[in-house]
Structure 1
Amino acid sequence: MPDNSSYLVVPSAALWLFVLVIVGISCVALAVVLSRARRARNMKLARLEAGSVRSPLPEFEKNGQSAAAALVQWSPETLRHILAKELPDAQVIVVSNREPYIHNRNGDGIQLVVPASGLVSALEPITRACAGTWIAYGGGSADALVVDENDRVEVPPENPSYTLRRVWLSEEEQQGYYLGFANEGLWPLCHIAFTRPIFRASDWEAYEAVNRKFADTVVAEARNERPIVLVQDYHFALLPRMIRERLPEAIIITFWHIPWPNSEVFSICPWREKILEGLLGSSIVGFHTQFHCNNFIDSVDRFLESRIEREDSAISYGGQISLVHAYPISIEWEPARQAQLPDVAQCRRHVREKFGLADDVRLCVGVERLDYTKGILDRFTALDELLRLHPEWIGKVAFLQIAAPSRGTLPAYQQLHEECLRQAEDLNRRYGRDGYTPVLMVTEHHSQEQVYEIYRAADVCLVTSLHDGMNLVAKEFVAARNDEQGVLLLSMFAGASKELLEALIVNPYDATMMGDALLQALTMSSEEQRQRMQRMREVVRDNNVYRWAGSMLLDAARLRKRVAVDRAVGAAPTSSGNVISLLDRRRVAAL
């Protein structure tokens, strides 16, 4: 018989080699898993210690009662408490393009106008509570007549509680910076509403110059080297870096009120790197939703050489760390203007008399600026769908669209206005009859009191944005309905849809879905309306504008304290906008 012993050696060696390979792979995998687990644990601890995990008020966490923090009733007093306890002697400066009060000539006198603006309605009560300084463009025809020698005026007139500092812009600056780069470039770029962005070098130069002018004003208004500056919106993408260069110890929180697009869309902008560099001059960059935070971080990752800690939502660029957080904006609770209005029944009677609506006609409303991102034409299409498929509703439902004129010199807005009027006339021609007009298109400015009266008179409120950062109309409608009636029909592309889950959530691009949702809203029982509205009112009440501002101010306080700790322990000097990562220190110590 042949000797087979030599044939047994090869398989044995191969088997041992295979076992050794498996063991080696297992060890590596185990090491990776343990490393990741340690890293996750350390990152979580770092976030807790650095204050990235936010809670409403620190004192509510004593004695293991952190759950009580959720029960905090956020109010102006809460903000004043935060400022007194966490940020003593801090100067709060708000910067925005739009001013909270406008003075216009009215015959021989001066008329005071409060603009119908979501940004103003959100920030004005905050600035009042903080007794701060608000810097804004003075565009009113009588604005220059009421300021002092330093271009300041105390507001509100009936109860002065903060300073409005006006910045003057030439017609050329306003045309290039605001109408040009901000609203023909950044606005359509960020909203992805299928309107092509327009970028001109001359507009960019004006945008830079105006941002520099506002930076000069912030520095002039700062009482010390460490103010807290709240920069608002897409008009001032370059401003944080400009302030940081001159006030390195300032806490700069930039809030971007509109969506941030994905990095592929953002790449369209010719000055994308400079915009990102400008925003990363902020201590904190805030957005309405985590989705927009993620898009911003992805854009930085794609276009700038930076270090990104995604679990911490922190970006290290140019020796400075910026946090990127979601702060869902909201409204004042309860709205102060609502107390001046009569009850719902009286509001309904007045609105119906004003617009000639019969008692048995159900009223649907839309309220916003005349803007192509708001989906106004899509609402008209939804109404057409409803009346075509359900002709029994002809004569029984009317749609009131309040559309305040906006940016009327821009071609895209002129075209939208004409198309809205044309489509409204077409619907009225096809479905209207004597005494019944299905679409009431009102392109006029309305006061906040008038808007709230319309909210209270409505059976259905349509918020059908094609893309929106938050959209405060949805929250205002909910706040106005203390009778717990009415139905909110809300676009899935508005940030508010992430909070107001009891609304009828729709895709405004789907006409059939919109028509079906409108029918559902019109036929919804009073009890179902009550149940839905109760839950939405709880959300708006608990997550009000004071909580939005308080969260940012608490983060500002934590950043300040961290800088104080760094100085106390002899750490390398940093600006108050920086965060020294505890995780990095542990890594260095481990080495």
Structure 2
Amino acid sequence: MKSATPSVLIWLALLSVLVVGAWFAVTHTTRQWSERDIDLRTELAVSSARRALLSALHGQDTQDLQLLLGDLITDERIMAAAVCDAEGKALAASASYPPVFSCPSLLARVRSAVLSGNKPWRENVPLKQTTVYLAAIPLLEQGELRGFVVLVHDLSFVSRRERSAQLFLLLAFVVLALGSATITLVSSRLLWQAWNKSLRRIAKGETQEVDKRPEFQPLLQDLRDLLDRLAQEEQAEQHGGIWNPQRLKLTLRRHLHGERIIVLANREPYIHQHDAEGGIGVVHPASGLVSALEPVMRACSGVWVAHGAGDADRQTVDAQDHVRVPPGEESYLLRRLWLSEEQERGYYYGFANEGLWPLCHVAHARPTFRTEDWQQYQQVNQKFADAVCQEASSEDPVILVQDYHFALAPRMLRARLPRATIITFWHIPWPNVEQISICPWHRELVEGLLGSSILGFHTQQHCNNFMEAADHFIESRLDREDFAVIRHGQRTLVRAYPISVEWPHHHASEAPPAAQCRAELLAQLQLPPDTLLGIGIDRLDYTKGIEERFRAVERLLEREAALIGRFVFLQIASPSRTQIERYQQVNRDVEELAARINARFGREGWQPILLRRRHTEPADVFRLYRAAQLCYVSSLHDGMNLVAKEYVAAHDDELGVLVLSQFTGASRELREALIVNPYDIEAASGALAQALLMPAEEQTARMRAMRRAISEANVYRWAGRMLIDASRLRRREQLIELLTDQHDYPLARSA
């Protein structure tokens, strides 16, 4: 026992020396890490707002500067902030900014830092029985100092970190003393490796495994907060009120530094055509895509790249194939591309609308796939992707790719612009795995869409179907927690963004009241003033269920004889894709069915169905919505259907009834509509009868609830949510670059 005592004492002495040495080493390392953490926070906070700060400095806009400072100090570690100009004059400061750190006193140090390599000046400074970390970051433009930002960081967390690290170290050495030194060293080594791997997983967004290990949470919480959310963006989303054009512009300015947006869509928002008098007129096409995106482009500006389909389109563009639209407002650019007849026949009429359209819609039309159509689809996608790259003014533009016409374009754009933020929105349903596998090139479609940064659908079910397709057809990893697909290091977020309409609608202030619209329309149709009017407004497409709609009207007149002579259903059907045989057949069937019903029930001066096959301008459509007591949307399968939402938006009198197919995305949001199965003719006709007999009080209650839902979830919110998600994704990618840069972050290097 006595002989063992010197060995124990020697071991304890050596262990004590090791404990003391390790104690100081860990304290020093923790402080260095904390200072680097502060430097990273400082650089990230200022770099994200640098453009906005420079813009505000140019305009000497103290209000904007004050707002930007408010955004900067949302970080709990930043106590105060100030902005000074190049002469040392204070332009703006947060309420808690210490006067002792005046702009003139810091100016010389900032200039010295600029001369020594444009690095921020930083120093630990005592302040009121504590120590703060003072950083002055120069704002340079073309190498010249335009001003600087001063950030005051709270260093109290450093002591907490040091105490946590010291306590952990002490416990580890207690275990060493009681056990085997070798086992403890091995355990420490394994723990250190796990620590570094966990940091890298979080940096890449792979948090599922780390979340199961609570021992990492206290030290990793700060980094997790930086990666997963920004307080400023969260507040803007939750507490910003109703979305409108001004809020959308502010969102773009704050989160994406006011960058212009590039939209890629097949359909152009304005078509120039020759009129009967030999002049050139402008047509606003009937399209849900155009109805949704056009207000966004008016709010945000940018470039819309589309196929020039009008017979006068070439005469109205400049040398770069640009024309400013809308006419009279000219708030954004339209870039037109030209397709040969062969390209249009193969890409648009062939693969897109004889193949993908019927494949994605459960409307009992057989899809047709031809190799030559697929080849044209590939060529046209590449042509449009090249045009978008020509319009990009930076290496990381924001690009909105629209719809099934351009499934391959995201991957093509990613190859040319790897740093671009590509948001692809698929406006039609995405089918299940069995259906999409019918397409011979289903794998290429999925791979093309995975070039997107964010892939949006109308409903969560469509998102689920795409995730299943990605898992089934290609080698990829699914992050089901974050709902993302990871392939070849590229991460694609899959999100549901229910599309909506403009609110308030810009035609609302121009159109007469609903009663006046109804009286004028009935007079135009030579109908009595007490006529009950229903309406349907669609493209002439087999997915819209127009035949089922007419049969429901026929059954309504069979069961409610009192409505014969009183009820008229006005169907506006815009001709669409008339070169395709299936659409020609739909046109004939709809015309014959309307004629048969009118022959059966019609009488002199009255017909139950008025079929008008023509294009109608949006302003006139808005008046038609207002005039009708009911609107029947009978789509057999639809991604969203904006006709339903437009009808509700038009009725500021809070009267009118919406009869809505259960197979539309809109039925998930407009619960106060009369939801029907359009195939069930008996139930659909009953819903039409219920709508015509519904008391005004019930109409108002239903319409008011639907209008509230649309006002809150309007098209500006749809675009704003996508842009905010894009901003968060860009920030996370920037942070990952910083964390994996061996020169900037030592922990990433050791991992």
**Structure 1 unaligned regions, length at least 5:** 1-34, 574-584
Query: What is the match of residue 196 of structure 1?
Result: 366
Q: Which one of the candidate residues 516, 521, 530 is aligned to 1:360?
A: 530
Query: What is the match of residue 140 of structure 1?
Result: 310
Is 2:98 the counterpart of 1:98?
Answer: no
* Cα gap change, 1:37 to 1:434, in 2 (>3 Å): farther
Distance in 2 (CA, whole Å) between partners of 1:97 and 1:50 is 38
| Residue identity opposite 2:260 in structure 1 | Q
| Deviation of 1:546 (Å) | 0.4
Q: Within 5 A, what are the aligned runs for 1:439-588?
A: 439-571=609-741
| Deviation of 1:436 (Å) | 1.7
Q: Which one of the candidate residues 298, 309, 313 is aligned to 2:479?
A: 309
TM-score by length of 1: 0.87
| Residue identity opposite 2:271 in structure 1 | I
Q: Within 5 A, what are the aligned runs for 1:58-457?
A: 58=233, 60=235, 68-69=239-240, 72-106=241-275, 107-457=277-627
| Residue identity opposite 2:451 in structure 1 | G
| Deviation of 1:108 (Å) | 3.2
The alignment partner of 2:542 has SS state of coil
Q: Which sits farther off after the overlay, 416-425 or 385-394?
A: 385-394
The alignment partner of 1:557 has SS state of helix
**Dislocated runs of 4+, deviation >6 Å:** 40-43, 45-48, 50-55
The alignment partner of 1:359 has SS state of coil
Distance in 1 (CA, whole Å) between partners of 2:570 and 2:224 is 49
* Cα gap change, 1:325 to 1:49, in 2 (>3 Å): farther
The alignment partner of 1:210 has SS state of helix
* Cα gap change, 1:67 to 1:131, in 2 (>3 Å): closer
Is contact 1:52–1:312 with CA below 8 Å preserved after alignment?
no
* Cα gap change, 1:358 to 1:142, in 2 (>3 Å): same
The alignment partner of 1:166 has SS state of strand
| Deviation of 1:453 (Å) | 1.0
| Deviation of 1:68 (Å) | 2.9
Is contact 2:532–2:629 with CA below 8 Å preserved after alignment?
yes
| Residue identity opposite 2:254 in structure 1 | K
The alignment partner of 2:423 has SS state of strand
Distance in 2 (CA, whole Å) between partners of 1:452 and 1:52 is 42
Is contact 1:314–1:324 with CA below 8 Å preserved after alignment?
yes
Distance in 2 (CA, whole Å) between partners of 1:188 and 1:329 is 21
Is contact 1:131–1:162 with CA below 8 Å preserved after alignment?
yes
Distance in 1 (CA, whole Å) between partners of 2:690 and 2:594 is 23
| Deviation of 1:396 (Å) | 2.0
Is contact 1:54–1:551 with CA below 8 Å preserved after alignment?
no
**Structure 2 unaligned regions, length at least 5:** 1-207
Is contact 1:51–1:555 with CA below 8 Å preserved after alignment?
no
* Cα gap change, 1:559 to 1:98, in 2 (>3 Å): same
Distance in 1 (CA, whole Å) between partners of 2:659 and 2:591 is 23
Q: Deviations for 1:503-560, whole angstroms, at most 9, x for unmatched residues?
A: 0001111111101111111110000000000000001111110000000110111111
Distance in 2 (CA, whole Å) between partners of 1:40 and 1:464 is 52
| Deviation of 1:440 (Å) | 0.6
The alignment partner of 1:315 has SS state of strand
Is contact 1:199–1:269 with CA below 8 Å preserved after alignment?
yes
| Deviation of 1:329 (Å) | 0.6
| Residue identity opposite 1:78 in structure 2 | R
Distance in 2 (CA, whole Å) between partners of 1:324 and 1:195 is 28
Is contact 1:54–1:555 with CA below 8 Å preserved after alignment?
no
| Deviation of 1:319 (Å) | 2.0
Is contact 2:227–2:732 with CA below 8 Å preserved after alignment?
no
Distance in 2 (CA, whole Å) between partners of 1:412 and 1:256 is 23
Distance in 2 (CA, whole Å) between partners of 1:245 and 1:50 is 29
| Residue identity opposite 2:615 in structure 1 | H
Q: Which sits farther off after the overlay, 388-397 or 185-194?
A: 388-397
* Cα gap change, 1:572 to 1:165, in 2 (>3 Å): farther
| Deviation of 1:36 (Å) | 9.2
| Deviation of 1:207 (Å) | 0.4
| Residue identity opposite 1:440 in structure 2 | L
Distance in 1 (CA, whole Å) between partners of 2:355 and 2:742 is 40
| Residue identity opposite 1:60 in structure 2 | Q
Is contact 2:403–2:424 with CA below 8 Å preserved after alignment?
yes
Distance in 2 (CA, whole Å) between partners of 1:380 and 1:54 is 52
Q: Deviations for 1:358-387, whole angstroms, at most 9, x for unmatched residues?
A: 223211110010000001011111112111
Is contact 1:96–1:231 with CA below 8 Å preserved after alignment?
yes
* Cα gap change, 1:365 to 1:81, in 2 (>3 Å): same
Distance in 1 (CA, whole Å) between partners of 2:475 and 2:269 is 38
Distance in 2 (CA, whole Å) between partners of 1:117 and 1:561 is 34
Q: Which sits farther off after the overlay, 464-473 or 89-98?
A: 89-98
Is contact 2:252–2:300 with CA below 8 Å preserved after alignment?
yes
* Cα gap change, 1:359 to 1:52, in 2 (>3 Å): farther
* Cα gap change, 1:67 to 1:116, in 2 (>3 Å): closer
| Deviation of 1:439 (Å) | 0.7
Is contact 1:347–1:453 with CA below 8 Å preserved after alignment?
yes
Q: Which sits farther off after the overlay, 117-126 or 264-273?
A: 117-126
| Deviation of 1:40 (Å) | 11
| Deviation of 1:570 (Å) | 2.8
| Deviation of 1:52 (Å) | 7.4
Q: Which sits farther off after the overlay, 236-245 or 430-439?
A: 430-439
Query: What is the match of residue 41 of structure 2?
Result: none
* Cα gap change, 1:366 to 1:275, in 2 (>3 Å): same
Query: What is the match of residue 139 of structure 2?
Result: none
Distance in 2 (CA, whole Å) between partners of 1:388 and 1:186 is 38
Higher RCO (CA-CA < 8 Å; seq separation 6+)? 1
Aligned-residue sequence identity (percent) comes to 52
| Deviation of 1:38 (Å) | 4.9
Is contact 2:229–2:728 with CA below 8 Å preserved after alignment?
no
Distance in 2 (CA, whole Å) between partners of 1:356 and 1:197 is 43
The alignment partner of 1:340 has SS state of coil
| Deviation of 1:157 (Å) | 2.5
The alignment partner of 1:398 has SS state of strand
The alignment partner of 2:683 has SS state of helix
Distance in 2 (CA, whole Å) between partners of 1:319 and 1:114 is 42
Number of matched residues? 534
| Residue identity opposite 1:556 in structure 2 | A
The alignment partner of 1:301 has SS state of helix
Distance in 2 (CA, whole Å) between partners of 1:119 and 1:37 is 41
| Deviation of 1:571 (Å) | 4.8
Q: Which sits farther off after the overlay, 136-145 or 153-162?
A: 153-162
* Cα gap change, 1:74 to 1:405, in 2 (>3 Å): same
Q: Which sits farther off after the overlay, 187-196 or 390-399?
A: 390-399
